[in-house]
Amino acid sequence: MPFENIKDIYKRMAHAAMRSGREPQDVKLIAVTKEVGSELIHQAVHIGLREFGESRIQAAREKIPEVRSLDPRARIVWHLIGHLQTNKAKAAVKLFDIIHSVDSLELARSLNRHAGEVGKRQRILLQVKLSDEESKYGILKNKIRSVLAEVFGMQNLRVEGLMTIPPFFEDPEKARPYFRELREVRDEAVSAGHDMKELSMGMSNDFTVAIEEGATMVRIGTAIFGERRK
């Protein structure tokens, strides 16, 4: 049966939020739909999910309009969570409400320009790279200050927070230092006067640890939709 895990996921999210001194509604569930077809996403909308994450422009170009036509009245929010090439920035602005994977100044400048052209204020997160072994993409920690200073000056972007993808560990406790570090980077940025609060961190295997460390958005695929058939 699809979605048999969803109640359990919400419960684990809520408990982790409370362990971090927050309320369950302070943490948003983003259902990651890569390799998931429009029909199953439609069913997910039916059980109340509204925030979806896609990792590739190519797939999103098809799925987003399909899901919209299946559920024209649902207020669905689409998150881009995968690496974005600068030459696809225009399409990303058109398709996505919020882009988590802004990993270079060049990309931010391009998004700012395309958002300006269509009169949109594009919501973004900056992807931060906290170790050598983790995902290839992301802004290095020692560059964050200068990047933030510049992106906060871009008129057509709204910088809402930070995102990271730690290396994969069987034991989610091993990811905890990365989550904590991202929170510290955000807190330092806030102290420096940059108004942003979101921390996009935590996936199927480690979302409770991420929430304990302050995640405001968790990106969960497998635990909701099952193993991806690739």
**Contact positions toward ligand PLP, by CB under 6 A?**
32, 34, 55, 81-82, 165, 203-205, 219-223
Provide the total of helices (H) and of strands (E) in the chain, helices listed first.
9, 9
Of all residues in the shown chain, the one whose CB is closest to ligand PLP is 221
Q: Which is nearer to ligand PLP, 93 or 220 (CB)?
A: 220
Distance separating alpha carbons of residues 158 and 89, to the nearest angstrom: 15
Q: How far is CA 225 from CA 36, 110, 146, 153, 197, in A?
A: 8, 33, 39, 39, 28
Q: Which is nearer to ligand PLP, 99 or 154 (CB)?
A: 99
Q: Which is nearer to ligand PLP, 151 or 203 (CB)?
A: 203
Supply the minimum distance, in Å, between the C-beta of residue 55 and ligand PLP. Answer: 5
Tokens of 21: 């001194």
Tokens of 40: 């199953």
Start-to-end Cα distance in the chain: 20
Supply the minimum distance, in Å, between the C-beta of residue 170 and ligand PLP. Answer: 13
Supply the minimum distance, in Å, between the C-beta of residue 155 and ligand PLP. Answer: 28
Supply the minimum distance, in Å, between the C-beta of residue 78 and ligand PLP. Answer: 14
β-pairing verdict for 198-200 and 51-54: unpaired
Q: Which is nearer to ligand PLP, 17 or 165 (CB)?
A: 165
